[in-house]
Amino acid sequence: MSRFVCAGNAVLDIVVRPVDRFTFGTSCHVQDIELRLGGNGASTAFTLGRLGMPVRLLAPVGRDAFGEYLVNKLRSAPVNLDCLEYTAAPTATSAVLVHPSGERALLHRPGASAEGFAGEFEPARWFAGASHLHLGTPFAVPRLRPRTGELLRLAREAGLTTSVDTQWDSAGRWMADLAPCLPFTGLLFANADEARMLTGNGDPAAAAARFFELGVQEVVLKLGKEGCALFTRQGERRFPAYTVPVVDTTGAGDCFVGAFLAALGRGRPREEAARFANAVAALSIQQLGAVEGVLSWEETQRWMQARAG
């Protein structure tokens, strides 16, 4: 069984639902305002832990009530938090406005994410006992993004396999910051929009081909309602999504990635990992918040079997 390290950010999400419109100077009554775990690194790590995989999180958090909430939630998965980086800045926080359709808009305060990873890397401590490094995104932690290639190189030199989830680049630098990662990336995750922005090509197969040219070994594209596509140098396979009612799509991609890696960590083939990841993403979007719908490995398998029957 693989042992994982997840690097990225940890965010306290304040989830508000439903919000179909918002006008300044008025009041808008809503059904739910809840605190939830968020952030690419934290959500993926939580999913891995919930699915029974040993996982350590590298992420910056503040010494405040929001950080305490995140720590307690992550420990419940469980996630190893020995390598959390505490900063003087407040914990990164997002106000997540969820539309009745399940789509969302975010108001984000970077907080600790803007201060973390300023010091020297500590591969001996961070990677101790691990077999795989997953980078939640090269873009969300400003002081990490120019050094993500170095982080992945160090992981490879330490004998770890690697994966990267691209996520959205709000700074608009895209391939300028991702490219140094790719020669050290075994498995690259992206959604269709991210792949288009990174490669300049809206065709998934063409985008995957460009990633291969830059050194990636395998590519998984998250295609929303269409499921996912797995690309290797031998070809492409598509795996359809489950049809379920949508409550909140926040964090579904992070849960997908955590589930895909968990299946690989258990020695399952790529095709099984893709189907399992689609199931975990489907469970995620039926609940409010990124990880509230994530079940255990056994519960997810039973849910899949019931859907198949």
The pLDDT value given to residue 309 = 62
Q: Is residue 255 part of a domain?
A: yes
Residue type, 106: L
Task: Please check whether residue 161 lies inside any domain of the structure.
Answer: yes
Residues 6+ apart with CB under 8 A from 39: 8, 9, 10, 11, 59, 92, 113, 136, 140
Nearest residue to 245 via CA among 283, 299, 279, 274:
283
Query: What is the C-alpha separation between 282 and 264, in angstroms, rounded?
Result: 19
Residues 6+ apart with CB under 8 A from 196: 202, 207
Per-residue pLDDT of 8-59, as tens digits, reads 999 999 999 899 988 899 998 999 999 999 999 999 999 999 999 999 999 9
Asked, for residue 194, whether it belongs to a domain, the answer is yes
Indicate whether 24 belongs to any domain. no
Q: What is the largest CA-CA distance in the chain?
A: 57
**How far apart are alpha carbons 180 and 240 in whole angstroms?**
32
27 within domain boundaries: no
Quote the CA–CA distance of 305 and 76 in Å, as a whole number. Answer: 26
Enter the tokens of residue 275: 């189907």
Residues 6+ apart with CB under 8 A from 27: none
Contact 107, 94 (CB under 8 A): yes
Residue 25 lies in a domain: no
pLDDT value for 88: 95
**Structural domain contains residue 117:** no
pLDDT in tens, 262-280: 999 999 999 999 999 999 9
Domain containing 81 equals: 4-19+32-109+124-304
- The answer to the question of residue 116 being in a domain is no
Distance CA 25, CA 237 (A): 50
57: buried, middle or exposed (CB in 10 Å: 19+, 13-18, 0-12)? Answer: buried
> How many C-beta neighbours within 10 Å does residue 196 have?
16
Q: Report which of 305, 284, 304, 307 is spatially closest to residue 294, judged by C-alpha positions.
A: 284
State both tokens at 282: 């489907």
Q: Is the peptide bond before 78 cis (omega within 30 degrees of 0)?
A: yes
Cβ(303)–Cβ(242) under 8 Å? no
The parts of the chain modelled with pLDDT lower than 50 are: none
Q: How many helices (H) and strands (E) does the chain have?
A: 10, 14
Count of domains for the chain? 1
pTM for the structure as a whole: 0.95
CATH number, position 204: 3.40.1190.20
What's the CA gap between 253 and 195, in Å, rounded?
A: 14
